[in-house]
Amino acid sequence: MASNKLKLNDIARLAGVSATTVSHIFNKRDKKYRISPQTRQRVLAIAQQYSDQSHIRQYLVKANSTNTIGVVVPDMSNSFFSMFLHHLEASFRQKNIQLLITCSHYNPEVEIKVAQNLVERCVDAMIVVTSLDSDDFYVNINQQTPVLFFDRYLKDTKLPFITSESVKSVADLIIPYAKQLEEFYFIGCDIQLTSIHARLEGFKQGLKTAGLKFKHDWLVCDDYCQNKGYQLIKGVHEKLGRLPKAIFTPSCNLLQEVLSYLVEIKIDPNQICLCSYDYNIYLDYCYYPTDAIAQDFQTMAHTCVEVIDRLINFKELKHHAFFIEPKIIRHR
């Protein structure tokens, strides 16, 4: 060979086939042109010997691609994840790529198992909403299968992630009411997660900007489990002997559970101010007016597609952190 860079003609000569045959194999047209599995394997084995060359690695990835992307979410019944998956599936379908969706149920052991199953199924890449507290597991997977974190990301991770901006949007959401009230409660769960922690920081920033000093008693949180929001607001009600004047919830499922308690005790909507991260259309018709932050699912899904495309094609990312701007929807 005249140079160290392997060309299609070189692989064809080493495999004893035509350059056209090599091209068909690398472009996944071998079945269409009835190229035998033995010939395909011989060509790929030769290419593998030169996989240290970036263009050869790209040929191998394309030849072995399954046109599937693995997705791990903690809870498919959560309306946020359902809406995201709806837009994500539609975006990838336009590129003839299928999603394999799995659920971790907020359980790290289950998450590891389903992620390993996706790797065994040879997905081309993975999009993960993680419940792990370290990226070590995914850094290891990323050596062979590109990984993109979504919504929740791990502090100091070098893996790319996509999430909604939280700090400024939450502050802007609550400032008008914090200026009028002398208390504001944060009813949340899993504040150790980066996305939830950012919403808490935005909540504190909003109070400060409004001139309302944050009190530790206003932070009511726990590890999440089903109906936890109901339990937390009920506990506050019993402790105070009344409901807080204002409540912020950092997710739609917590808001739903808080609303179920308010409906149960039949509180007057004028007696409480509600704000939440995550918007759902049901809030437009809700008896209790709730200002909410609507995440831009379509832009997030399109960004996921763009980032995954660059990752699987060995294209450099200009940056690894993608914060998508949400918008505030007011009902009061």
Q: Regarding predicted confidence, which is higher, 256 or 30?
A: 256
The full set of domain ranges for the chain reads 8-64, 68-164+297-327, 167-294
Mean pLDDT of 114-133: 94
Average pLDDT over the chain, rounded to an integer: 91
pLDDT tens digits, 149-160: 999 888 889 999
pLDDT greater than 80 at residue 26 = no
**Helix (H/G/I), strand (E/B), else coil: 248:** strand
Rounded to whole angstroms, the Cα distance separating 12 from 14 reads: 6
Burial (CB count <10 Å: 0-12, 13-18, 19+), residue 4: exposed
> What pLDDT score was predicted for residue 47?
79
> What pLDDT score was predicted for residue 255?
96
Contact predicate 75/131, CB 8 Å: no
pLDDT greater than 80 at residue 54 = no
> What pLDDT score was predicted for residue 24?
76
Rounded to whole angstroms, the Cα distance separating 256 from 182 reads: 25
3-state percent helix, strand, coil for the chain, nearest multiple of 5 = 50, 15, 35
| Run of H or E residues at 230 | helix 228-240
Contact predicate 192/180, CB 8 Å: no
Chain centre distance of CA 132: 13
pLDDT greater than 80 at residue 33 = no
Q: How many helices and strands, by DSSP H and E, does the chain display?
A: 12, 12
- What is the DSSP-derived secondary structure letter of residue 194? H
% of the chain surpassing 70 pLDDT: 98
CATH H-level, domain 167-294: superfamily:
Response regulator (3.40.50.2300)
Give the sheet arrangement for strand 185-189, strand by strand.
219-222, 185-189, 246-249, 273-277, 290-294, 327-329
Residue 102: name the closest of 91, 113, 94 by CA.
113
**125-159 b/e with 16+ CB inside 10 Å = b?**
bbbbbbbbeebebbeebbeebbbbbbbbbbeebeb
pLDDT tens digits, 181-232: 999 999 999 898 899 999 999 999 999 999 999 999 999 999 888 899 999 9
**298-332 b/e with 16+ CB inside 10 Å = b?**
bbbbbbbbebbeebbeeeeeeeeebebebeeeeee
What pTM did the predictor assign?
A: 0.82
pLDDT greater than 60 at residue 1 = no
Number of Cβ within a 10 Å radius of residue 181: 14
**Helix (H/G/I), strand (E/B), else coil: 289:** coil
**In the chain, where do the E strands start and end?**
68-73, 98-103, 125-128, 147-150, 161-164, 185-189, 219-222, 246-249, 273-277, 290-294, 321-324, 327-329
Q: Which CATH architecture has domain 68-164+297-327?
A: 3-Layer(aba) Sandwich (3.40)
> What pLDDT score was predicted for residue 63?
65
**Helix (H/G/I), strand (E/B), else coil: 103:** strand
> What pLDDT score was predicted for residue 2?
44
> What pLDDT score was predicted for residue 304?
97
Per CATH, 68-164+297-327 and 167-294 having the same topology is answered yes
Bridge partners of residue 37, in order along the sequence: none
Instruction: Go through the chain and tell me how many residues it has.
Output: 332
**Helix (H/G/I), strand (E/B), else coil: 148:** strand
Q: Which CATH architecture has domain 8-64?
A: Orthogonal Bundle (1.10)
Q: Copy the structure tokens of residue 10.
A: 């070189």
pLDDT greater than 90 at residue 44 = no
Q: Copy the structure tokens of residue 73.
A: 């979410």
